[in-house]
Homo-oligomer: A and B are copies of this chain.
């Protein structure tokens, strides 16, 4: 396995906590950091595994990474500008639990995301 390179996390923070792997890489280069693209990808992945960052997708399919609070939440994402709002998902938690029980599933987790066009766009 591999651990995250701390400079990657620090750069992601400096980027406003919201950037693609390529962007983090270019940013580090511009700042004179010596790092390989591979390491950036690996570090981001590892941060995702550790649930320190969240990954979502731009409309063009590029993955964007963002720091996120530790509480379990969901996202409301603008398809146009990428603006993201963290929302509460109590209804989902309950739904997931009920559905899983109904079908005899255990160790249940879920993903849910809402997307649309925000008021500014």
Contacts and interface: CB of A to CB of B under 8 A. Distances in A.
Nearest to A58: B57
A29 B26 CA distance: 41
B103 A118 contact: yes
Interface residues of A, number: 36
A47 to B, nearest CB: 16
Nearest to A80: B107
B106 A95 contact: no
A104 to B, nearest CB: 4
Nearest to A102: B87
Interface of A: 56-57, 59, 61-63, 76, 78-79, 85, 87, 89, 91-92, 94-96, 99-100, 103-119
